Structure 1
Amino acid sequence: MTPPTGLISAPPRRIPRWAGWAIAVLVFVAMAPTLGWLELANGIETLHAATVLEMRRDGGSWIMPTLNGTLRIKKPPLPAWIGALAVTDATVAGASSTDPVIRDRAFSRLAWEIRWPALLAGCLMLVATFDLAKTLAGRRAALAATVLTGTSLLFLRYMRLASTDVHLALWVTVGNALLARAILLRQRGCIAAFGLALGLAFMCKGPVAILQTIAPVALLPLLHRRRTATGSGLSQPMAPEPVPARRAIPWRQVFVAVVAFLAVALPWPIMVATSNEGTLAIWWSEITRKDATTLAPDPVYAYLTLLPHLIPWLPAFLLGMLLTLRFRSSRSVRFIHRTKVQRHRGYLLAMLWLAVPILVMSLFKDKNERYLLPLLPPAAILAARGLLAMIAGMRRGRRDAGAWLASHFVLVGGIAIVLPLVGVISPQALPASLTSAWPVSASGGAWYEPRLGLPCLALAIAATVTMFRPPRRSVIAGVGIAAVLMLAANALLLWGYKDTPAGRSEMRPIAERIIAQSAGTRVAYHDPGGKPMPPDLAIYLNRVVRPLEAVRRRGDDEPDIIVMLQRENQRPPSLPGWHSFASEPYGKRYWHALKKDQP
């Protein structure tokens, strides 16, 4: 691979303290306009949105939220509270309107209102990432880590969705930043603030917050014993002035931290547990995932999906891991041994915050990619180490360092160029063997019209060329162009994805047919095959929708309409005394709305 030629960085300048805030604002401004493009269709997001709507509608309970009339107490409600505060009364009222235009505008506003708090939490996580990386490795690494976090595939994919994991990632990162200050900079006052942050993280998703903050730090004494003889122990402070190697444990601050954590984390669980039988069993099942789902266990290596989700900065991450794991034998990579790598102890701590939670979470049944969001900042800090090593190698004229750096630019340029190129080609112009894997819009055509796709393609090519040879001929400028290009490619991707079946709600078409037939009817859901009810049915009907079995078990009045699924190659669903009055396709399946026969 030919390295970028002529890229010579100017002497490094001092990174301002507000740099993290500037990056967070840039990312928010770049992603915020896209939040209303996609309908509420993602499974975890529709659960959150349906719960929030139910809290805001008809005086729903905030202390113990419900979903279709059933208590939703498996997880703490802090993200639901934040979402409910963001949704306005006008949106809730408009979602129940019989006017399709008003209803459509209301659901567009709902998508924005339910998602912007999550994006804000993600961008505040970038600020916390900057602070954490600054403590662990200095401001240059902090700037690189923040940029890498905000433009990674994992961030761009999940930070636009309203989910509990986004809010958890914020408070875990804030907590780790405070812990790093307390441990490495001896800022003992941060310990009490850490207790508050840990309590808020606990109120997002429970005990996993402890695993992702305190548990890795518990291994620090082991590393200290192993490295004391070489003078690189983690217990030595990072501050420039000499600090005694040993100090008494600040029990007063620890006590305040514990009190702050308990004051935030305990009231809601105690209230719920004392008000509902079987709550402890529900929480134990949720923590261990035993009998929580009927799905087969994910493979133990499932969290290796972190690697592709670090694109386009995966090479820097791999190099940063190599530097951290083989710090004293780094001559295996030619240009690294000539690079003076600083803050090695901080990078080791970042590696602990990444590796320990992954190893523990791999022992559990469910392994979703979004669970990795709180681990993205430490992964980006390790990637920053690799990126800074590449830049240092470039300054020394090492062509192999340029090849490593060029691999990032190739990934970014490939994404930016291939996306509009593929998006403007109609599936009808391709051989039948390719159409099944080709991006297709809901109408069966190309993602982008030529008047949009071709200019985007030309701009992507020009930006890629500029990325390799930026105006100031600076490596840093090339990395900045790559970051902006990733944000632009994300917006273009969502613009095309919004018109695909996957970007639209599965249940909205049948919900619209039901509202057009009779707006105020009681609706139930029934599936003899055991498929759970998609939460977006309750969202787009804007009312409680219970399974038919639950309605009859409760002794409620019979519903006016029953929604049922017709699977591929099966006959339309039927119930004695009911007939289908509306059906809507979704892929190769159909959703039917059934109404009682007239006597």
Structure 2
Amino acid sequence: MSADKSERHAAFLGVPPWLALLLVLVIFETGWIGFAIGQPPLLPDEPREAAIALEMAQSGVWTMPTLNGHPFVEKPPLPYAAAALACGLTGSEATGTLRLPQLVASLAALAAVFALGRRLGGAAAGITCALLLATTVEFFRSSLRLAVDPELLAWTSGAALATVEWWLAERPSARAGFWAATCACLALAVATKGPVALVYHGCAALGLFVFGGRQGIGRLPLLFAAYLVSLFPLGAWALALYAHGGWDLVSEALLRNSWGRFARAELGHKAPLWFYLKVLPVVLAPWTLLALAGLGTAWRAAREADTDRGRATVLRTALGWAAGSLLVLSLSAAKRELYLLPALPAWTLLAGAAFIDAARAPRLEGLPRFALLTTLAALAGATVAGSFLLPRQGHAEAALLVLPALLFGGLLAGAWRSWPALGSAALFAGVALAAGGAAPWLMERDSARGSIDAARSALTQAASRTDRVYGVGLREREVAVLSLALRRTFTELADLEPLGGPDAPLAQRTLVVSGGSAPPVLGPRLLERASLEGTGSAPLGAQRLYFSTLVKRE
């Protein structure tokens, strides 16, 4: 049965393919949001992002992110301002409130991918691409993370959509409108993560110019103009930084953080050149094979002059966006899996093109068909293994993974001859069930590695009985956790030497917090001025936070 016949058969059953897919998407997204939105912040980054946003909400200074009262200029202020605004509008400082900008951004990215995917074959194709994005490992894991990258994902996707429509528009007024929309999305992307945000869109545009012929060359000046316009928010922030801290603060933000991260990995995350080739299969799972097969599909469509213009434009954009971003990010000195998130829509559009071709092909005809059948076999095997292994680790709910395993196996058997009616909806429903069965285990694993609950609770309790708090030799993540626990600024010291002196006087009751693998040694000079009332510690990642309560001697 061909794909066209399958669609007619599905419509005859009274369930249009796009409607069944939309139902699966809505149910999956609703469950995912309900499960993830209120999860506590996890190491290494979320406590810091939460602390900065809450400080901004308290101070009302929207142009200067701060951590414990000190300027924090690794990233522009827009993401923190969005979280602070959410707190102000709702009157809540809960973690779920702080995640609202990420939630809106993730839904916006799905909407943009749907709009781009429609160019590949109608509403069903668009929802298929959105589902492919929603069910990838990296999107599921990172799109509600307290980080700037989910918002960058939304603005990058919006800019790519606006650029595609600008490229395809025939009326001058439409072209002008979509060019303005491209400028707006790029400006917001730059205001989210700095000039590096233009890399993703530049790679997407490169795909259009490489295959666009003379039409592409003629639009090059307008694209450069859009990039110049997008830098205006960054210039305004630079002026605010200069007014606050002079050229040193501007240099810290724009040179050390933006250029320094790319060229020298000054702030960490240094990795070898092949890092992304190693992690890409996991990031794209379970659609890795389909995404890789989509590279060939896009390459052929991009080079064919007689192909559908809208489909070819989307695939050219996706090809440049995916392959170009992978190349540029590999050349960067600083590397993280999270940096692939803004390029994830491109890979899912490629996977969507391969999926559509696979659904139309019989048996093992062509690489996309082979990729689809192999993916089904891998999903069936993985869920069967999970249904047996995870219950032994105390997750009885994982036994339900046998249900999607049976569904994947049935799809594999039925799809051997041709793709069945409503097969796409059944496939994504199975993936949603598998994600639901594995989610508690994944959350427990992440919490064991990155939970701050024990440290935050212990610090809050200890600080409630003291008048002054000092942090001694704390790293950035420890400063963030202490800031979240106290909900006020505290004094940071490099070591214990000045404690008790004129620069760091003791209060009647003083809390001293330090990090590391061993508690600090309080010297005799300090103990002459204060008695040690109590000590404690709490786990924080691979190390611990140590705290001592000192009572000033009369």
Write the mapping of 1:82-231 to structure 2, written as runs, cut at 5 A. 82-87=82-87, 91-92=92-93, 110-135=94-119, 139=123, 141-186=125-170, 187-188=174-175, 189-218=177-206, 220-224=208-212
**Alignment length, in residue pairs?**
522
1:312 paired to 2:286: yes
CA drift of 1:506 comes to 4.6
**Does the aligned pair in 1 maintain the 2:290–2:354 contact within 8 Å?**
yes
**What's 1:293 paired with?**
266
Q: Could you tell me how far apart the structure 2 residues matched to 1:84 and 1:548 are? A: 28
**Does the aligned pair in 2 maintain the 1:34–1:491 contact within 8 Å?**
no
**Does the aligned pair in 2 maintain the 1:178–1:194 contact within 8 Å?**
yes
**Does the aligned pair in 1 maintain the 2:459–2:482 contact within 8 Å?**
no
Q: Could you tell me how far apart the structure 1 residues matched to 2:18 and 2:425 are? A: 18
CA drift of 1:378 comes to 1.2
**What's 2:549 paired with?**
595
Give the TM-score, by structure 1 length. 0.75
1:562 partner SS: strand
**Does the aligned pair in 2 maintain the 1:350–1:381 contact within 8 Å?**
yes
Q: Could you tell me how far apart the structure 1 residues matched to 2:459 and 2:269 are? A: 35
**Does the aligned pair in 1 maintain the 2:18–2:124 contact within 8 Å?**
no
Q: Could you tell me how far apart the structure 2 residues matched to 1:6 and 1:185 are? A: 30
**Does the aligned pair in 2 maintain the 1:114–1:162 contact within 8 Å?**
yes
1:515 paired to 2:460: yes
Q: Could you tell me how far apart the structure 2 residues matched to 1:457 and 1:366 are? A: 37
- Superimposed CA distance per residue, residues 192-249 of structure 1 (whole angstroms, 9 cap, x where no aligned partner): 1111111111111111222211354246444345xxxxxxx875xxxxxxxxxx9x76
Write the mapping of 1:404-415 to structure 2, written as runs, cut at 5 A. 404-415=371-382
Q: Could you tell me how far apart the structure 2 residues matched to 1:484 and 1:546 are? A: 52
CA drift of 1:595 comes to 2.1
Taking structure 1 as reference, are residues 520 and 267 closer, same or farther at Cα in structure 2, changes over 3 Å only? farther
CA drift of 1:86 comes to 2.1
**Does the aligned pair in 2 maintain the 1:138–1:343 contact within 8 Å?**
no
Taking structure 1 as reference, are residues 368 and 424 closer, same or farther at Cα in structure 2, changes over 3 Å only? same
1:595 partner SS: strand
Find the partner of 1:322 among 280, 296, 300: 296
1:297 partner SS: coil
Give the TM-score, by structure 2 length. 0.81
**Does the aligned pair in 2 maintain the 1:24–1:123 contact within 8 Å?**
no
CA drift of 1:511 comes to 3.4
Q: Could you tell me how far apart the structure 1 residues matched to 2:274 and 2:324 are? A: 14
Structure 1 stretches of 5 or more lacking a match? 93-109, 226-232, 236-245, 331-338, 427-445
Question: Amino acid of the residue matched to residue 564 of structure 1?
Answer: S
Q: Could you tell me how far apart the structure 1 residues matched to 2:303 and 2:158 are? A: 33
Q: Could you tell me how far apart the structure 1 residues matched to 2:422 and 2:478 are? A: 50
**Is 355-364 or 125-134 further displaced after alignment?**
355-364
1:64 paired to 2:64: yes
**What's 1:442 paired with?**
none
Question: Amino acid of the residue matched to residue 182 of structure 1?
Answer: W
Question: Amino acid of the residue matched to residue 336 of structure 2?
Answer: N
- Superimposed CA distance per residue, residues 311-354 of structure 1 (whole angstroms, 9 cap, x where no aligned partner): 11111112111233466999xxxxxxxx9999345423311112
Taking structure 1 as reference, are residues 21 and 118 closer, same or farther at Cα in structure 2, changes over 3 Å only? farther
**Does the aligned pair in 2 maintain the 1:191–1:257 contact within 8 Å?**
yes
**What's 1:422 paired with?**
389
**Is 191-200 or 141-150 further displaced after alignment?**
141-150
1:371 partner SS: helix
**Does the aligned pair in 1 maintain the 2:390–2:398 contact within 8 Å?**
yes
Write the mapping of 1:391-540 to structure 2, written as runs, cut at 5 A. 391-394=359-362, 398=365, 403-426=370-393, 446=394, 448=395, 450=396, 452-454=397-399, 456-468=400-412, 474-475=419-420, 477-500=422-445, 502-503=447-448, 506-519=451-464, 521=466, 522-527=468-473, 533=478, 535-540=480-485
1:42 partner SS: coil
**What's 2:488 paired with?**
543
**Does the aligned pair in 2 maintain the 1:312–1:408 contact within 8 Å?**
yes
Identity within the alignment, %: 22
CA drift of 1:64 comes to 1.1
CA drift of 1:565 comes to 3.3
Q: Could you tell me how far apart the structure 2 residues matched to 1:56 and 1:76 are? A: 16
**What's 2:537 paired with?**
583
**What's 1:48 paired with?**
49
CA drift of 1:154 comes to 1.4
**Does the aligned pair in 2 maintain the 1:220–1:234 contact within 8 Å?**
no
Structure 2 stretches of 5 or more lacking a match? none
**What's 1:363 paired with?**
331
**What's 1:435 paired with?**
none
Q: Could you tell me how far apart the structure 2 residues matched to 1:79 and 1:467 are? A: 42
- Superimposed CA distance per residue, residues 409-451 of structure 1 (whole angstroms, 9 cap, x where no aligned partner): 223333433334322114xxxxxxxxxxxxxxxxxxx2x2x3x
**Does the aligned pair in 1 maintain the 2:37–2:144 contact within 8 Å?**
no
**What's 1:437 paired with?**
none
Taking structure 1 as reference, are residues 208 and 259 closer, same or farther at Cα in structure 2, changes over 3 Å only? closer
CA drift of 1:475 comes to 3.6
**Is 275-284 or 29-38 further displaced after alignment?**
29-38
- Displacement over 6 Å in runs of 4+: 4-8, 12-24, 253-256, 327-330, 339-342
Q: Could you tell me how far apart the structure 2 residues matched to 1:505 and 1:422 are? A: 23
Q: Could you tell me how far apart the structure 2 residues matched to 1:498 and 1:340 are? A: 44
Larger proportion of helix: 2
Taking structure 1 as reference, are residues 271 and 585 closer, same or farther at Cα in structure 2, changes over 3 Å only? closer
Q: Could you tell me how far apart the structure 1 residues matched to 2:471 and 2:540 are? A: 17
**Is 188-197 or 32-41 further displaced after alignment?**
32-41
**Is 456-465 or 366-375 further displaced after alignment?**
456-465
**What's 1:565 paired with?**
515
Question: Amino acid of the residue matched to residue 463 of structure 1?
Answer: L
Taking structure 1 as reference, are residues 150 and 6 closer, same or farther at Cα in structure 2, changes over 3 Å only? closer
CA drift of 1:66 comes to 0.9
Taking structure 1 as reference, are residues 549 and 82 closer, same or farther at Cα in structure 2, changes over 3 Å only? same
**Does the aligned pair in 1 maintain the 2:163–2:178 contact within 8 Å?**
yes
Taking structure 1 as reference, are residues 264 and 17 closer, same or farther at Cα in structure 2, changes over 3 Å only? farther
CA drift of 1:124 comes to 1.2
Taking structure 1 as reference, are residues 411 and 535 closer, same or farther at Cα in structure 2, changes over 3 Å only? farther
**Does the aligned pair in 2 maintain the 1:298–1:365 contact within 8 Å?**
yes
1:213 partner SS: helix
- Superimposed CA distance per residue, residues 9-54 of structure 1 (whole angstroms, 9 cap, x where no aligned partner): 3449999999998776444312111125632113222221111121
**Does the aligned pair in 1 maintain the 2:42–2:450 contact within 8 Å?**
yes
Q: Could you tell me how far apart the structure 1 residues matched to 2:438 and 2:428 are? A: 15
CA drift of 1:291 comes to 6.4
CA drift of 1:70 comes to 0.8
Q: Could you tell me how far apart the structure 1 residues matched to 2:346 and 2:103 are? A: 19
1:362 partner SS: helix
Taking structure 1 as reference, are residues 586 and 421 closer, same or farther at Cα in structure 2, changes over 3 Å only? farther
**Does the aligned pair in 2 maintain the 1:524–1:546 contact within 8 Å?**
yes
Find the partner of 1:272 among 230, 236, 241: 241
Question: Amino acid of the residue matched to residue 547 of structure 1?
Answer: E
